[in-house]
């Protein structure tokens, strides 16, 4: 298939995590989002968690008002979040599982077991013009269910692949990468647009960016951490460069 340009969505949640550690106004996630856009991000991702541990309702208001490009609004499948999404009508809504105790989104959404409810849940979001994405593991059963409920996009969870890499478990990492590659092709064959994300770093992004069916990567925690050392703009630009390099197989890209 043709090598289309891979989009980069920058997740700015953890700018809000740092701000909230002191409870003041700094650093401002909206300012970070604008900087990321200027540095080449194709979109901004923000997760309004039920406990508001990082992004707040006011941040979503600010992002909707200030962004030049699309907002990918991550949320749990709850009535409260559906109302907020329908009020803002962001470009995209990504449905993620959420547990209060977890440090981050630990697994993909269990779509197959909750198909009926999720089909009814996403219908009004689609009617409002939002592109609905479902965050799932590289599991054929979940992908088929996401397709049946009417999602247009799936985002494949790359967390396990990244964890295995970090732990030096390279065989397990490569098995996970093979599953992600196979399931990206399978989802694409059903007509789903394929995104990927979670835990990606400069060291792990290449093989995921090289999967031809993947159209967008959403990357946050690593980029916000790296921006302490090189600044957010240069951190985003380096990620963009590595993605382009992997996509084209050309180190001059
Ligand atoms: N994609 C989804 C659906 C997520 O929930 C997250 C984390 O909020 C990310 C991507 C970004 O993950 P990370 O911050 O580890 O790069």
| Domains, in order of start, for the chain | 7-246 (3.20.20.70)
Pick the catalytic residue from 14, 47, 157, 195. 47
Determine the Cα–Cα distance for residues 60 and 29; give it in Å rounded to an integer.
10
Instruction: Report CA-CA distances (Å) from 47 to 1, 2, 84, 174, 194.
Output: 32, 32, 12, 29, 19
Residue 19: pLDDT over 50:
yes
Q: What is the DSSP string of 83-102?
A: HHHHHH--SEEEE----TT-
- Distance in Å, CA 98 to ligand 1 centroid: 12
Find the residues whose C-beta lies inside 6 A of ligand 1.
Answer: 11, 13, 47, 74, 94, 96, 104-105, 135, 155, 197-200, 218-222
47 is catalytic: yes
pLDDT of residue 253: 42
Determine the Cα–Cα distance for residues 120 and 196; give it in Å rounded to an integer.
24
Ligand 1 pocket test, pick from 8, 11, 132, 157 with the greatest ligand atom count within 8 Å of Cβ, gives 11
pLDDT of residue 105: 63
Report the nearest atom of ligand 1 relative to the CA of 47: 8
Residue 192: pLDDT over 60:
yes
Torsion sign (Cα): 163, 134, 130, 211: positive
- Distance in Å, CA 188 to ligand 1 centroid: 21
How many degrees, rounded to 5, is the angle at CA 112 between CA 79 and CA 188? 100
> What angle, rounded to 10 degrees, do the helices at 29-38 and 57-66 form?
30
Residue 248: pLDDT over 90:
no
Mean pLDDT of the chain: 95
Question: Which of 95-99, 113-117, 200-204 is most confident?
Answer: 200-204
Neighbours of 97 (CB within 10 A): 18
Determine the Cα–Cα distance for residues 64 and 58; give it in Å rounded to an integer.
10
- Distance in Å, CA 57 to ligand 1 centroid: 19
Q: Is the model's pTM score more than 0.75?
A: yes
What is the token pair recorded at 199? 């835990």
Q: Which residue is closest in CA terms to ligand 1's atom 6?
A: 198
């Amino acid at each position: 298939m043709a090598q289309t340009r891979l989009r980069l969505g920058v997740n700015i949640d953890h700018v809000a995590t740092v701000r909230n550690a002191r409870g003041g106004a700094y650093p401002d996630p909206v300012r970070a989002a604008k900087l990321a856009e200027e540095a080449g991000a194709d979109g901004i991702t923000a997760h309004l968690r039920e406990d508001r541990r990082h992004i707040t309702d006011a941040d979503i208001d600010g992002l909707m008002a200030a962004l030049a490009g699309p907002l990918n609004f991550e949320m749990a499948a709850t009535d409260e979040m559906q109302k907020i999404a329908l009020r803002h009508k962001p470009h995209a809504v990504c449905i993620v599982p959420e547990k209060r105790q977890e440090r981050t989104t630990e697994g993909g959404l269990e779509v197959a077991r909750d198909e009926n409810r999720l089909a009814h849940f996403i219908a009004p979001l689609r009617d409002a013009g939002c592109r609905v994405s479902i965050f799932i593991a590289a599991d054929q059963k979940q992908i088929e269910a996401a397709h049946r409920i009417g999602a247009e996009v799936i985002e494949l969870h790359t967390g396990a692949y990244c964890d295995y890499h970090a732990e030096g478990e390279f065989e397990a990492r490569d098995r996970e990468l093979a599953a992600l590659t196979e399931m990206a092709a399978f989802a694409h064959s059903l007509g789903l647009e394929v995104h990927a994300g979670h835990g990606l770093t400069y060291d792990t992004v290449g093989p995921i960016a090289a999967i031809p069916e993947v159209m967008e990567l959403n990357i946050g925690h690593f980029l916000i951490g790296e921006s302490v050392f090189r600044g957010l703009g240069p951190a985003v630009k380096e990620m963009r460069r590595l993605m382009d390099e992997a996509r084209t197989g050309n180190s001059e890209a």
